[in-house]
Amino acid sequence: MIGGRVLDTSTLLAFARGTSLYAAAAVWTAVEESIVLIVPSTALAAAWTELADEHRPVLDVLLHLPVTVIDNLDQARARTVGRLGGNQADAHAIACAHERGWPLLTAHPDQYARYEQTGVDLEPLT
């Protein structure tokens, strides 16, 4: 079984800005160990909006890694995200993690309290 992690908006921002050694270690370990990194397209859009131009090339590096997979908000995923409610990027990240049974990396685990019923494991950036 292939394992992986889902990266939320806060993790994308922390990696691109270089503010979290944990986020960097998780990404580079994933490359070394062939661990899949799922990036929800809504989290990507939210991170891109918040990033200064100088940090966008770092995010581009992450997006072009061989272990990175973008989960697009297609028709089926949009319905799942809509049913979960709340912030779309958060709900999209939860949906990706729940579907795969993978942990969700986040700098803000408290913002996922409304999704506790999904049973998704949150992996806080420390």
> For 51-97, how does the pLDDT look when each residue is reduced to its tens digit (9 = 90+)?
999 999 999 999 999 999 999 999 999 999 999 999 999 999 999 99
Closest C-alpha among 57, 66, 59, 71 to residue 24: 59
d(CA 57, CA 31): 18
- What's the angle, vertex CA 21, arms to CA 24 and CA 106, rounded to 5? 75
Task: Tell me if the domain spanning 6-124 has CATH number 3.30.360.10.
Answer: no
d(CA 98, CA 56): 28
Mean pLDDT of 85-113: 97
d(CA 5, CA 54): 26
> What is the structure's pLDDT at 126?
84
> What are the boundaries of each domain within the chain?
6-124
Closest C-alpha among 93, 16, 95 to residue 60: 16
Q: With a threshold of 0.85, does the pTM exceed it? A: yes
